[in-house]
A and B are shown apart, each in its own frame.
Chain A
Amino acid sequence: MTRITFDGVSHSYGKRSVLRDIRLDLSEHRIGVVGANGSGKSTLVRMINGLITPTSGTVSVDGLNVARNAREVRRQVGFIFTNPDNQIVMPTVQEDVAFTLRRRGLTREQVAERTAAALDRFGLTAHADHPAHRLSGGQKQLLALAAVLVAEPKIVVADEPTTLLDARNARRITELLQEMSQQVIVVTHQLELLAGFDRVVVIDEGEVAFDGSPDAALDSYRELLA
């Protein structure tokens, strides 16, 4: 697995400090991040692919400073957002998956081949030429996964990927995330989704409140919420 490190990372939006001196060294296969609304989870995970640059401190992926090498790092890190509508950028399902492979020096045949394989893997082949915006919420999130994984990233970061889905689709997406050979980092409020995870980080008011096994982390998180 790749090593992701947060070294003394702090972040403020204007004057508002939302993360304070975060120190983490993440190299487990499946990592969960939990915490109350507004605790800073989204801010934290967006730093892994450089969508947010910390006000101070460094985040590095595989030894690369994300702030200085955002482009290289983004090629290794796939990101899944909460609202699948917002990550669809092309009109049809197949084109949206193929979009990820643009400017990668692949031939048209290679792009078509890899796109087809990704669609097949996520059960979207029948929808290849359908308008992406007409898929169901669950299918849209599957499309997002296909669009991310077609590029074969080393790490998949997902910020509440199942929050807008029904229980069945949430389980399906979670299972897919758990089965991935990639390193996965999942932010969630649905604690039952973290059962098979290797490590869970609890964030509270911009600080790491607990970091350890899922069971212990979830106990600590429930205590925090009580």
Chain B
Amino acid sequence: MIGLYHPGSSIIHRTPTLLKLLLLSVGVTVVGLLGQPWQLLVALGAVFVLYVVAGIPPRPAWQQIGPILWILIIAVPLQALFAGWTTAGMMAGRLVVAVALAALFTLTTTVTAVLEGFQALLHPFRRWIDADRVGLLVALTLRCIPLVAEIVAEVLEARRARGTQGSLLALAVPVVVRSLYAADAIGEALVARGLDD
């Protein structure tokens, strides 16, 4: 999702999205309940095997899991101070396994697949909710994240180029204005591309 998808044709890629999501929640719950360090090691090994099966190379995997390790560098010693190293280590292990599982989901599932999953979930409620529209809304929201990020970066750059520093408001105003223009233009493109169909 949001460009994190790592293309492939492994069994994990091909597992239906909703089933994958279900397995993910079961997996995360089970990991949260594990009480013995050796059980966690087994879980860690299992996750590693899943990554190998999915054919995810170390780099994209690291991009997903790496950031959590930074948090742990601070959190683990802190918790060790209060609860001892074993508990701190267990917490860290659970977190890493849970994040790795969630990352595996995003790395092997396209946005389209997630949307189709949503639509299937919402199907029973079709009388009240247009699942297609909801899916589109989610996709557009995801699409807007990099767009707004880009606008913020450009506005910051323009400020630096003119040597202006300023309040948060002075940053927010051009960002909001430009985002609205972009939204207007994307809306027009949506209509042109048959949103109304």
Contacts and interface: CB of A to CB of B under 8 A. Distances in A.
A154 interface: no
A156 to B, nearest CB: 11
B146 interface: yes
Interface residues of B, number: 28
B2 to A, nearest CB: 6
Given A81-B185, A131-B146, A91 B111 contact: yes
A90 B186 CA distance: 11
15 contacts: A51-B191, A74-B192, A74-B194, A78-B192, A81-B188, A83-B185, A87-B189, A95-B139, A99-B193, A100-B194, A102-B194, A103-B194, A128-B7, A129-B110, A131-B3
Interface in B137-170: 139-140, 142-143, 146-147, 150
Interface residues of A, number: 34
Contact of A89 (B7, B146, B193): B193
A89 B5 contact: no
A101 to B, nearest CB: 9
B1 interface: yes
Interface of B is mostly: helix
Contact of B3 (A51, A81, A87, A130): A130
A85 B193 contact: no
Interface string B75-96: 0000000000000000000000
